[in-house]
Amino acid sequence: MAVDTATLHDKLKTFFGYDAFKGDQERIIRHLTSGGNAFVLMPTGGGKSLCYQLPALVMEGTAIVISPLIALMKNQVDAIRGFESGEDGIAHFLNSSLSRIQIQEVQDDLLRGVTKLLYVAPESLTKEENIALLKEIKISFYAVDEAHCISEWGHDFRPEYRKIRSIIDQIQPAPVIALTATATPKVQSDILKNLRIQDAVVFRSSFNRPNLYYEVRDKVEPEKDIIRYIRQNAGKSGIIYCLSRKKVEEMAQMLAINGIKALPYHAGLDAKTRAENQDKFLMEEIDVIVATIAFGMGIDKPDVRFVIHYDIPKSIEGYYQETGRAGRDGKEGHCITYYSYKDIQKLEKFMQGKPVAEQEIGKQLLKETVAYAESSQCRRKLLLNYFGEDYTQDNCGACDNCLHPKARFDGREEMSLVIELIESLKEHFKLEHLASILAGVSNALIKSYKHDELPLFGAGKDHSVRFWAAVIHQGIILHYLDKDIENYGLIYATDEGLEFYLNPHEVMLVEDRTFSEGEDEDDEDSAAAVNGGGGGDPVLLSMLKDLRKDVARKYRVQPWMVFADPALEDMTIVYPLSLKELSEKCQGVGEGKARKYGQPFVDLIAKYVEENEIERPDDFVVKSVAARSGNKVAIIQAIDRKLPLEDIASSKGLEMSDLLTEIESIVATGTRVNLNYYIEEELDPDVVQEIFTWFKEEATSDSLSDAMKALEGDYEEKEIRLVRIKFLCEVVN
């Protein structure tokens, strides 16, 4: 049944409140109401749902909308019932979340002919009782939403989607409209072939979302960075995607205790909780939803202002669809992704054990994601090219690479050296092993293979292990190298790489575009890299160091005992103006130390800020989730009860060395503990006195490694660490 233009515009205004159609919407609707098959490629926010909702409301019979997103079903049914003030039965959904009574209500409305739209999960569509029910009613058309799920090369492949055509044939013939926001040319071909709608008219909208800003950030202190960003965008709606349900729960809890209205959303929650959390987000009772990447949210909210990926997605399609939830109203949308090598290793590990064909597809999709994350090219150009669309501008002005171009260098010599090393070895090795050989950094594994005796050992010692790791990563992106996931991620040279080695040519690599290994990296080198190796304000840092000398002379202690360098560097970044801020925002400054030494420092900083008209950053201390800090609290309480350290370690499942590390971490924050009861029992008084005196008179910092080097020959490690803790608590803190 063809519908005239006037009727369509009237229904558009009546049902949805819009005065005009967007893009190809009217053409798609007219084609579908005329009885034709359609394939709609439209980015998130382009108005896909209207393309089947409006025809369903004006055509005779019931439209069957097949969607995997339970959240979207409820969301759209609620919206349609709001549009149409008639009977509630105008739209229903049928999936596993419904009770028996609710299912009966759906069946009754369908048989009465009042339901115009029925949303069905693909799993529900395959049930014999539902097939029998749908045979009893007139169907206007079938809409296959999220149609990329049909293809094994789609980012969210679902086997049930492959059965849709055969089930349609069982029920009754009717036009088919397939819709997706993300599909490469390969996936598009799979969709048309599997649904047997090769005659469908293809309506392809541009994948460009000019209002979205794309950025990839190094995954260093991501929680702190996320909280800072959300606070700077207070009151705006946002979504944070995480790889695991556990991380979703942790992140939502961490945001909540830091004063941000956030709730979790993942498939592990019961249906009632999931629906409640979704509604609170839609009704703006909360600002942020934290969700798993694997579970499609399907929340149709136009004013999501930011989408943050805490973990890198498994595919570009998934990334594009999830970022596409931002700015669906055409206004600003920030898409920020955190990336580290460890994320990629996690995703590769998840692939192990899956069928080889599935691994191969997953590996290829992941490679594309890595290439996107590490590329220095315009992110918009990369995305559009992936979906078969050209973007001709050199600078989009709305991605991190275009706004902050990264230095590049001709890496033909470096790439050739990597390939030469790989080909010279009898076996294949992991990326880190190869990078260490070239940088000339030996370890037990390298020595066991005698790779420290290779001619190429240290051939690239002018650069760090991280530099060579980055070169190898980019070699994989350029297809000169590859990684064998089945064999522990061993690196080998491809045919293309060997051809390059024989005939080297210019290959532009990104200079210093390295990323952190991941969240559990907290060694001194990485900390120094994060902090930039110095204070944020060199002039203030110099003034604070002069003041520290004066204060140290007054109290007759060494300067580092007043405030260590990291504390001064923090002061030059966050500009604390009170003793409370000083103790909360600066490393190793507890309340006691702030009270004893802090006043002249905050006075100096206040004067400096005022005279130089400095705008202080909106920094803060990220409050940790109680479960994370519970171990430390328990250790402090056990020490207060004067329990032997061996018993404390045993109760926590720790080695003694690990327990001492925990106690050192506690003391580093400025907290004092009293271990005298244990030290007096375990250590000779002369040993304690001599180590204590060394720290007081000879040490130039509180560095444990310096102390170990200076004292290791005379004293055991445990003795040095225990006395250092005593010294820090009694003198420094």
What average pLDDT does the chain have?
83
| DSSP annotation string for 504-536 | ----EEETT------TT---HHHHHHHHTTS-S
Distance CA 635, CA 422 (A): 48
Number of CB atoms found within 10 A of residue 363's CB = 17
Q: pLDDT tens digit string along 138-156?
A: 999 999 988 888 877 766 6
Q: pLDDT tens digit string along 646-658?
A: 888 888 778 888 8
pLDDT at 475 over 50: yes
pTM of the model: 0.54
Model pLDDT, residue 334: 97
E strand or H helix at 701: none
Model pLDDT, residue 676: 92
| DSSP annotation string for 253-322 | HHHHHTT--EEEE-TTS-HHHHHHHHHHHHTTS-SEEEEESSS------TTEEEEEESS--SSHHHHHHH
Model pLDDT, residue 733: 66
Q: What is the DSSP letter of 622?
A: P
pLDDT at 305 over 90: yes
Closest C-alpha to 216, from 336, 118, 317, 100:
336
pLDDT band at residue 38 under the 50/70/90 scheme = very high
Q: pLDDT tens digit string along 363-388?
A: 778 877 887 888 777 899 888 877 87
Distance CA 597, CA 485 (A): 55
| DSSP annotation string for 48-63 | TTHHHHHHHHHSSSEE
Distance CA 180, CA 207 (A): 11
Give the pLDDT mean for 99-110. 86
Distance CA 281, CA 256 (A): 14
Q: Are 145 and 177 contacting, i.e. CB atoms less than 8 angstroms apart? A: no
Residue type, 585: K
For residue 239, the cross-strand partners are 289, 307
Helices (H), strands (E): how many in the chain? Answer: 35, 17
Give percent of the chain above pLDDT 70: 88
Distance CA 175, CA 79 (A): 25
Q: pLDDT tens digit string along 192-243?
A: 988 888 888 989 888 899 999 999 998 888 998 999 899 889 889 999 999 8
| Domains of the chain, each with CATH number or no CATH | 5-204 (3.40.50.300), 212-339 (3.40.50.300), 408-510 (1.10.10.10), 528-611 (1.10.150.80), 626-732 (1.10.10.1390)
Q: pLDDT tens digit string along 698-708?
A: 887 777 777 88
Sequence-ordered list of residues with C-beta below 8 angstroms from that of 703, at least 6 positions apart, any chain: none
316-327: buried (b, 16+ CB within 10 Å) or exposed (e) per residue? bbbbbbbbbbbb
pLDDT band at residue 300 under the 50/70/90 scheme = low
Residue type, 454: L
Model pLDDT, residue 76: 64
pLDDT at 69 over 80: no
18-49: buried (b, 16+ CB within 10 Å) or exposed (e) per residue? eeebeebbbebbbbbbeebbbbbbbbbbbbbb
Q: What separation in angstroms does the CA of 430 have from each of 307, 412, 437, 446?
A: 34, 21, 11, 12
Model pLDDT, residue 86: 45
pLDDT band at residue 302 under the 50/70/90 scheme = confident
Sequence-ordered list of residues with C-beta below 8 angstroms from that of 214, at least 6 positions apart, any chain: 323, 335, 337, 379, 380, 383, 398, 399, 400
Q: pLDDT tens digit string along 318-339?
A: 898 889 889 988 899 999 999 9
